[in-house]
Amino acid sequence: MMKKTLDIKTLHFFSFAFKNVKFKIGFALFTSIVLISIVGSLATPYDPSIGGKFRPNEPPSISHLLGTDSMGRDILAQIFLGTVQSLIIGLIVAFVGTVVGSTLGFMAGYYGGLIDAFFRTIIDTFVVVPMLPILILISSFFRTVSIWLVAGILSMFSWAWPARQIRSQTFSLKERDFISVAKLSGMSGSEIILKEIMPHMLQWMIANFVNAVLWSMLTEAGLEILGLGPQTTITLGMMLYWANVYSALLRNLWWWWFPPLTMLILLFLSLYLIHNGLDELLNPRSRKG
Amino acid sequence: MSIGDANLIEVQNLTKIFSTGFIMKRNIAAVEGVSFSLSEKVPEILTIAGESGSGKSTTARLILGLIKPTSGKILYKGKDIWKMSAKEWNQYRREVNAVFQDPYSAFNPFHKVEHVLLTPIRKFRLAESKEDAYELASKALDSVNLRGEEILGRYPHELSGGQLQRILLARVFLLKPKLIVADEPVSMIDASIRINLLNIMLKYKENLGVSFLYITHDLSTATYISSRVLIMYLGNVVESGPIDDIVQNPLHPYVQQLIDSIPNPDPEKRWKGYIKLPEVEHNLVETERVKGCKFYDRCPKRMEICKKERPKLKQVENRLVACHLY
Amino acid sequence: MAENILSVKDLTVDYVLTSNDSLRAVDNVTFEVNTEEIFGIVGESGSGKTTLAKAVLRLLEPPGYIRSGYVNFGGVNLLEVPEEKLNKIRWEKISYIPQSSMNALNPLMKIKDQMTEVMKMHGFKGVSKEVINRRVEELLVSVGLAPEVSEMYPHELSGGMKQRVIIAMATIFNPTLIVADEPTTALDVVVQRGILQLLTKIKNEHKSSIVLVTHDIAIQAEVADKVAVMYAGKIVEIGDIRDVLKEPLHPYTQALISSIPSPLEKKALYGLSGVPPDLRRPPSGCRFYPRCKYFKSGLCDKVEPHLQKIGDRLVACHLYR
């Protein structure tokens, strides 16, 4: 019963969402980027992160559509792989954040009492603590930074906000009569959270997820450009880092820094449009009757 | 624990105090010293009447076990509900149920209305298969004059308040509880439909042996279905007893004022005399600090003693009254 | 002698839902209000009474639109008069007490300041603070409140007190007409009586007329002089309150009255079956026929009954021809 409801709801959601122009454009842009990048990286017969394969510092040509970097690596291949990897980090962080954050938020909001007091303290701490200095501190502790460490660190900060929002919404929802009716019908706490309260939050959670992907890609790129990223992995941020290290700007190797920057901007733009489109849809004033 | 007690539910000195504020803690006695009982053998509709702020809704929630009392006991078939085992509590949940005031808020807008019927069927294992469950739900709707095929697949916003309230009453038919706590079940329903719902409640009492705790501010509907009444004012019971006698001859000044102020549909029998509303009404918070009778400010028959001492419930004629006049 | 101060004729209001869907919330409503009269409009949910009240004062917002009709007030058609003139008429000649107006008080302003604001907007400009404050206290006392209430904030007041403040604000300029939409909802029975008696006092002392919109016909019985019964956007019966309640002519009015439980006499009561019609697709003919026990097939479902004069009463029903 639950799965069927979810399927129908998803269908309803998408047909509903597609009525919004911003969402449509954002979604189209995003899916195209993702598809192209996935296909492109699968079609690359070699590992783009290994240097010395090609002549370095080559401007765009027929054999290398976006040229090569100072380490002799094909830029286009890096773009494909880098986009996918950046995205993977973004999705992991957003997923952990939304799932963990929501679970904690629901539990704190619904059960109240000690559980709530405990979580509230933790949540508020994480919301208040300045993220960037802590991130830099943690990253600098580790000599070799792996892609998983980056994802892990970012996840630490991505769950607090959804937890807080969901907690406060759950708090007010649980006072409503239909929750009492559910209790009196014999439903358990976790059932009530899942079936009665979560549907109210689902749309918000989706919007938050999109926002989290956006945020995490932005922060990840920021960390990498500062030099705190995974050195042996290709991500869009790392490309910019290496381009900076090798003074690509000064040496006018525009084909090195321009593509990753553009790709980042396009990704941000598409996610931003999706998020804004969803926001407009969720705004009760623009909803129809 | 034996079920030898003749009382279905017995409330003893029930008190609930809410605290607000962090630094300056203020205690509001929402319910103070309420006691009554309902017999198990004879189904009955007992009314708890009062204005908003009288504590009647809090009493309802206490009896349903949705909030915990500060002091006092609620005994169901002789057992304190807060000392029950998981099994006993389950039985309590099954046998004591509720109908709320706002039918639209009692339904989750994301679910079809069948959800409120199918869930208890599933949880309490009232049917074997999905088809049986649907059939049972349809039968329940029959008892409230609704057609299953038309109603079950709809969403709450597609139906009227009266229909929604009837669906909630249909749950009574499903669960066949011993007691229903109905908190203002008809206040938000159009007057011309109210009688239908009240008639359904009467029918359940007669045919299914269900007792009702009818919570309302409207004494007229209470006289229609109920035999006994507890009238509350700012948390305390001020008069209780047979409803017809109290309505014809109220003893407590507040109840007198209440009965007198019920609008009478006969234009020849309009209100005599003007009611003087207080110039400034104290908030509920402050009455907590009041030592004497809480009705002192508004009472036309107040005396010196009323300011100093809180009157206790005494037996006068065939009822209980809390007033220094007696 | 009874003189006409408000005359509403053929007022029709539609709510536009989408480009092809609309519903007629008020359908060709006609009635008159005289001086020093409490005119009651009674109807249940979906009857259109609140829409009617707002439309008369041109306070309707989209998607509600006035399609036709005119509202004659003191020789002026309120529906056509220019905005500046209308604003002068509002508060000064006609005031409006909306539904749940208690919650319309600004929680951040003292009572005194809110009343001062209204006064300044309507001709108390350039008047000294003392004069204004004195008027504020005068008004509060006139509704039975202590003068100190002017210094309080809304959250410090009870529901009954807030409603009295609203009434005080409505009487600042001694209007000829006050339109009150469900002024006693959420108020307790005793406070309700106090508020209704206050409105009666205002009618007697200020010679104002009051249009009292409510779903409770017993309230009308207590204070109204005339009553109009609305059902599904139409007026089905108008008459003197005593006549209508003693001998209701329209079957809906009869059902309304017979569904009031009387605390003093016990009798079996029967409510109405069915639900009010969906106004997007109202029934053909008489809107009440699906629930009417006098339904005559071929007539009631084909021909719409119009208001007809029966003695001193106006009724829209095929039973009376």
Kindly report, residue by residue over B139-187, the tens digit of the pLDDT: 999 888 888 888 898 999 888 888 999 999 998 788 888 999 999 999 8
Task: Let me know the angle formed at the C-alpha of A266 by A263 and A272, rounded to the nearest 5 degrees.
Answer: 140
Q: C57 to chain B, minimum CA–CA distance in Å? A: 26
User: pLDDT averaged over chain B?
Assistant: 87
Q: Answer whether B64 sits within 8 Å of A184, measured CB to CB.
A: yes
B199 in C contact zone (CB under 8 Å):
yes
Q: Answer whether A199 sits within 8 Å of B107, measured CB to CB.
A: no
Q: Spell out the residues 6+ positions from residue B85 whose beta carbon is closer than 8 angstroms to its own.
A: none
Q: Given pLDDT bands bounded at 50, 70 and 90, which one contains residue B27? A: confident
Q: Any idea what DSSP says for residue B279?
A: S
Exposure string (b/e) for A215-229, b if CB count within 10 Å is 16 or more? bbbbbbbebbbbebb
pLDDT at B297: 79
B82 in A contact zone (CB under 8 Å):
no
- Listing from the earlier edge strand, what are the strands of the sheet with B179-183? B96-99, B179-183, B211-216, B45-50, B228-233, B236-242, B319-321, B314-316
Q: Answer whether B51 sits within 8 Å of C190, measured CB to CB.
A: yes
pLDDT at B271: 86
A120 vs C234, higher pLDDT:
C234
Q: Answer whether B265 sits within 8 Å of C260, measured CB to CB.
A: yes
**How far apart (Å, rounded) are the C-alpha atoms in residues A283 and C205?**
49
Q: Any idea what DSSP says for residue C303?
A: S
pLDDT at A289: 35
Q: Answer whether A182 sits within 8 Å of B119, measured CB to CB.
A: yes
DSSP states of B150-186 as a string?
HHTT--GGGS-HHHHHHHHHHHHHHH--SEEEEESTT
Q: Spell out the residues 6+ positions from residue C167 whose beta carbon is closer than 8 angstroms to its own.
A: C97, C143, C183, C195, C198, C199, C202
Q: C7 to chain B, minimum CA–CA distance in Å? A: 25
pLDDT digits 0-9 by tens, B306-321: 888 888 888 988 899 9
What residues of chain A, 156 to 185, have a C-beta less than 8 Å from chain B? Answer: 176-178, 180-185
> Which of B80, B43, B78, B56 is closest to B230 using CA atoms?
B56
Cis omega (within 30 of 0) on the bond before B263? no
Q: Answer whether A187 sits within 8 Å of B123, measured CB to CB.
A: yes
pLDDT at B100: 87
- Listing from the earlier edge strand, what are the strands of the sheet with C94-97? C94-97, C177-181, C209-214, C38-42, C226-231, C234-240, C313-315, C308-310
Q: B130 to chain C, minimum CA–CA distance in Å? A: 30
pLDDT digits 0-9 by tens, B103-117: 888 999 999 999 999
B22 in A contact zone (CB under 8 Å):
no
User: pLDDT averaged over chain C?
Assistant: 88
Judge contact between B194 and B222, C-beta under 8 A. Answer: no
Q: Answer whether B257 sits within 8 Å of C270, measured CB to CB.
A: no
Q: Any idea what DSSP says for residue B106?
A: T
Domain ranges for chain B:
3-321
End-to-end C-alpha distance for chain A, whole angstroms? 28
Out of B195, B261, B274, whose CB is closest to C269? B195
The residue with tokens 């009870």 is C158
**Mean pLDDT per 10-residue segment, chain A (289 residues):** 51 69 88 91 86 84 85 89 90 91 90 84 81 77 79 86 90 89 86 91 88 89 85 88 88 88 91 85 53
A chain contacts of residue B111, beta-carbon cutoff 8 Å: 195, 199
Subunits next to B (3 or more Cβ pairs <8 Å) are A, C
Lowest mean pLDDT: which of A252-266, B116-130, B136-150, B273-287?
A: B273-287
Q: Answer whether B97 sits within 8 Å of A184, measured CB to CB.
A: yes
Subunits next to C (3 or more Cβ pairs <8 Å) are B
**How far apart (Å, rounded) are the C-alpha atoms in residues B272 and C226?**
20
C178 vs A286, higher pLDDT:
C178
| Model confidence at B85: pLDDT above 70 | yes
What is the longest distance spanned by two Cα atoms in chain A?
Answer: 74
C267 vs A248, higher pLDDT:
A248
pLDDT at A284: 53
Mean pLDDT of B231-237: 91
Mark out the alpha helices in C143-286 (DSSP H runs): 159-170, 189-206, 217-223, 241-246, 251-258
Judge contact between A56 and A69, C-beta under 8 A. Answer: yes
| Model confidence at C179: pLDDT above 90 | yes
Q: Given pLDDT bands bounded at 50, 70 and 90, which one contains residue B283? A: low
Mean pLDDT of C104-125: 85
Tokens describing residue C55: 């439309």
Q: Given pLDDT bands bounded at 50, 70 and 90, which one contains residue B38? A: very high
Q: Is B263 helix (H, G, I), strand (E, B) or coil?
A: coil
> Which of A108, C300, C245 is closest to B265 using CA atoms?
C245
| Predicted TM-score (pTM) of this structure | 0.79
| Model confidence at C276: pLDDT above 80 | yes
Please count the CA atoms within 13 angstroms of the CA of A150 that sit on its side-chain side: 30
Q: Answer whether C215 sits within 8 Å of B276, measured CB to CB.
A: no
Mutation target to probe the A interface, by most A beta carbons within 10 A, among B96, B101, B119, B124 is B119
Q: Answer whether C197 sits within 8 Å of B281, measured CB to CB.
A: no
Please give the share of chain C, as a percent, with pLDDT higher than 70.
99
Out of C215, C217, C261, whose CB is closest to B223? C261
Task: Let me know the angle formed at the C-alpha of C212 by C210 and C213, rounded to the nearest 5 degrees.
Answer: 150
Q: Count CB-CB contacts under 10 A for residue A42.
A: 11
Indicate the residue type of B130.
K
Mean pLDDT of B38-46: 92
Q: Answer whether A186 sits within 8 Å of B93, measured CB to CB.
A: yes
Judge contact between A196 and B108, C-beta under 8 A. Answer: yes
Mean pLDDT of C80-108: 85
Q: Answer whether C257 sits within 8 Å of B265, measured CB to CB.
A: yes
Q: C252 to chain B, minimum CA–CA distance in Å? A: 9
The secondary element (H helix, E strand) that includes residue B114 is: helix B114-123
pLDDT at B1: 42
pLDDT at C230: 95
Tokens describing residue B19: 């605290």
Q: Are strands B236-242 and B228-233 parallel, antiparallel or unpaired?
A: antiparallel
B258 in C contact zone (CB under 8 Å):
yes
Q: Are strands B96-99 and B179-183 parallel, antiparallel or unpaired?
A: parallel
Lowest mean pLDDT: which of A184-198, B274-288, C155-169?
A: B274-288
Q: Does domain B3-321 have CATH number 3.40.50.300?
A: yes
**How far apart (Å, rounded) are the C-alpha atoms in residues C206 and C211?**
15
Please give the share of chain B, as a percent, with pLDDT higher than 90.
40
A chain contacts of residue B165, beta-carbon cutoff 8 Å: none
Q: C296 to chain B, minimum CA–CA distance in Å? A: 22
Out of B223, B276, B277, whose CB is closest to C263? B223
Length of chain B: 326
Give the per-residue SS3 of chain A. CHHHHHHHHHHHHHHHHCCCHHHHHHHHHHHHHHHHHHHHHHHCCCCCCCCCCCCCCCCCCCCCCCCECCCCCEHHHHHHHHHHHHHHHHHHHHHHHHHHHHHHHHHHHHHCHHHHHHHHHHHHHHHHCCHHHHHHHHHHHCCCCCHHHHHHHHHHHHCHHHHHHHHHHHHHHCCCHHHHHHHHCCCCHHHHHHHHHHHHHHHHHHHHHHHHHHHHHHHHHHHHHCCCCCCCCCCHHHHHHHHHHCCCCCCCCHHHHHHHHHHHHHHHHHHHHHHHHHHHHHCCCCCCC
A43 in B contact zone (CB under 8 Å):
no
ipTM computed for the complex: 0.83
A55 in B contact zone (CB under 8 Å):
no
Q: Answer whether C275 sits within 8 Å of B163, measured CB to CB.
A: yes
**How far apart (Å, rounded) are the C-alpha atoms in residues A144 and B92?**
60
B107 in A contact zone (CB under 8 Å):
yes
pLDDT at A2: 44
Task: Let me know the angle formed at the C-alpha of C85 by C84 and C89, rounded to the nearest 5 degrees.
Answer: 120
The residue with tokens 């938050």 is A208
Length of chain A: 289
